[in-house]
Every structure is written in structure tokens, then in C-alpha cells.
Structure 1
């Protein structure tokens, strides 16, 4: 039986106007990890100021904890390290 692909979720504060940012990040992740993830779930938060990114319920980035939003390059690296560590990200890869 084939293992289920992970799902990325982005919980964002709709009152802060962060839906477009979440949709942009979802688009970037979907285009980069087409074969590695099931999809990206956008979830309006009930808590003001929330912007939390998870993979299968495990937090990989929390704006309140970090005090900032993730850069798209950084986010792709965080997702890659969990869902497909061997995947090369081209120009978004870490410098060795």
C-alpha cells in the first residue's frame, strides 16, 4: 500500500488581510511539490494575528513565534526537508 502524501496547511488571520499572502505561498508550494504533497489547505484563523504553517498538523513555521513571515525560499526549504529531503530546489536551495 502506498503511503499517503502529506498535506500542508496555512492558517492565516483574515482580519489582518493575510489571505492573499497565504494563497501566494500555497501556489508556490503546489508548483514546487506537485508530486510530493496532497495539497495545501488554507484555513482562516480564529485567533487574531495568526499565521501558522503545518505539515500534517506539525507546526513548521509560526509568525508569532518568529516575529516575522517566512521568506518563500525558506518555506520551500522547510517543506522540502520534511516531505522530500533529497529534492533539489534549484535557485531556492541552501548554499553549501
Structure 2
């Protein structure tokens, strides 16, 4: 089965649009590699994490920032299809 990406975000912080944008970018880039991208509102304030299956690949609190979309695509690619060429996102 193809992997699922899950983005947990703080709805009280207004991060739904950011999560939706990142989900759209991942679904477009990894159309053949992912089963789904799920958006999950967090009950914990300030949370913004990205997981592939159950492995955290980015945590806003740990990193002290949000991921850049280029960086996020690279992190997802490394988990789901390491040979995939991301074009300009690899440069």
C-alpha cells in the first residue's frame, strides 16, 4: 500500500490554509506515490507536524519554523520514492 502523509495543524492559530496548500503541493508532486494526504486539526496549540505513515518528518516546534515547500517535498520524497527527480525543487 502507498504511504499516507498526515499534516497536523493548530486550527486556533489559523494554519488550515497553510496545511491545505502544502497538501495540494504534495498531492500534485507525488500523484503516483501517495495514497492520501490527510489534514488533522490538533487539539494541542501551536502544533504543526508532517508525518509519513507514523514517522514524523517535520515538527515546527522542534525546528522553530515552518517547512519551506521545497524542503517538505524533499523530505517526503526521501521517504516515499528516493529516486524521484523533483526538478527545480532539487536545485
TM-score tier by shorter-chain length is: over 0.9
How far off its partner does 1:57 sit? 1.0
**What's 2:29 paired with?**
32
Structure 1 outlier segments of 4+, above 6 Å: none
**What's 2:65 paired with?**
68
**What's 2:46 paired with?**
49
Give the Cα separation in 1 of the matches to 2:28 and 2:36.
Answer: 10
Give the Cα separation in 1 of the matches to 2:76 and 2:50.
Answer: 10
2:82 to 77, 80, 85: 85
How many residue pairs get aligned? The number is: 91
Larger Rg: 1
Give the Cα separation in 1 of the matches to 2:50 and 2:78.
Answer: 14
Give the Cα separation in 1 of the matches to 2:43 and 2:79.
Answer: 27
Give the Cα separation in 2 of the matches to 1:11 and 1:82.
Answer: 18
Q: TM-score, normalised by structure 2?
A: 0.99
Structure 2, unaligned runs of 5 or more: none
Q: RMSD across aligned C-alpha pairs, in angstroms? A: 0.5
Which secondary structure state, in structure 2, belongs to the residue aligned with residue 86 of structure 1?
coil
